[in-house]
């Protein structure tokens, strides 16, 4: 792969939407990419649409945990390797499926995930900030929003 010249032309993106992704495996994968000549990698997470084909509401806690795991991968990787993170928001699983988790119900999840990434973690203070930004009195992350 390193002899092909591809590492000078592209940057790989590592996709994983799991709330319990294997941090150690991701760090090893990044090391393999580096040995092949890739100087930068991207991560891909999801703030909605990755938990079930017929999901209609967004479970914020799942996506928050995914982003916190990606932050852990980043902190255990060389400082200069991460080019960025793409927050995906899937609308359907394939072209024959119904739409899932429409954007309006996922806005709180997007806000939580963005704030977690921006602040390098999540805390009660960040939760309160998201509630204030969204004009919400009680942001629920472990249950479906009502």
Asked if 13 and 43 touch (Cβ cutoff 8 Å), the reply is yes
Does residue 63 belong to any structural domain of this protein?
yes
**pLDDT by residue (tens digit) across 24-40?**
999 999 999 999 999 99
Asked if 58 and 113 touch (Cβ cutoff 8 Å), the reply is no
**pLDDT by residue (tens digit) across 37-67?**
999 999 999 999 988 888 888 999 999 999 9
The separation between the first and the last C-alpha atoms of the chain, rounded to the nearest angstrom, is: 50
Rounded to whole angstroms, how far apart are CA atoms 30 and 89?
24
Does residue 110 belong to any structural domain of this protein?
yes
Does residue 53 belong to any structural domain of this protein?
yes
> What does pTM read for this prediction?
0.92
What's the domain range around 95? 6-134
Does residue 140 belong to any structural domain of this protein?
no
Does residue 145 belong to any structural domain of this protein?
no
* Residues forming beta bridges with residue 13, ordered by sequence position: 42
Does residue 125 belong to any structural domain of this protein?
yes
26-47 burial code (b ≥16 CB/10 A, e <16): bbebbeebbeeebeebebebbb
CATH number, domain of 105, equals 3.20.20.80
Q: How many domains does the chain have?
A: 1
Does residue 142 belong to any structural domain of this protein?
no
Does residue 17 belong to any structural domain of this protein?
yes
């Amino acid at each position: 792969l390193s002899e092909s010249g591809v590492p000078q032309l592209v940057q790989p993106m590592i996709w994983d939407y799991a709330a319990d992704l294997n941090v150690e495996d991701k760090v090893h994968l990044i090391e393999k990419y580096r040995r092949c000549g890739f100087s930068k990698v991207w991560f891909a997470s999801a703030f909605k649409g990755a938990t079930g084909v017929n999901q209609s509401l967004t479970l914020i806690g799942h996506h928050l945990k995914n982003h916190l795991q990606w932050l852990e991968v980043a902190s255990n990787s060389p400082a200069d390797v991460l080019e960025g993170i793409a927050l995906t928001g899937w609308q359907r699983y394939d072209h024959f499926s119904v739409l899932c988790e429409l954007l309006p119900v996922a806005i709180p999840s997007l806000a939580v995930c963005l704030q977690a990434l921006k602040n390098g973690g999540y805390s009660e203070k960040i939760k309160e900030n998201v509630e204030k930004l969204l004009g919400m009195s009680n942001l629920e992350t472990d249950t479906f929003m009502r």
